[in-house]
Amino acid sequence: MSHLTFYEKVYEIVAQIPKGNVMTYGQIAALAGKPNASRAVGHALRVCPEKLELPCHRVVNTRGYLSGGKAFGGMEIQKQLLVQEGIKVSEDYCIDLERYLSWNQQICGK
């Protein structure tokens, strides 16, 4: 990943998130080499070319809340996509990070 732009690194990382799991914007930023750039990760996903068909709905904030605003067509759409993959989403649009982040702890060096 050394010669890729930050956005390309973000897209490469997001593409690897398996069904039934999530990552946070901050984790992706850190893996892409800019640990303080979680907002830039959000921007990268907002402008992501549709042809990449990335599972952007698998990205949540640091507390496990789904993306606000119009991302993925809104929080309800993101919730539906996550539920279809077996992820339990609470009524307040939050997931259990301890349960669904476990896959990437090895990648993140934890």
Residues taking part in catalysis: 56
Pairing of strands 59-60, 23-24: parallel
Query: How far, in Å, CA of 9 to CA of 49, rounded?
Result: 14
CA neighbor of 105 nearest in space, from 15, 16, 43, 27 = 27
Phi, psi of 60 (to 5 degrees): -130, 170
CA neighbor of 102 nearest in space, from 21, 10, 17, 48 = 21
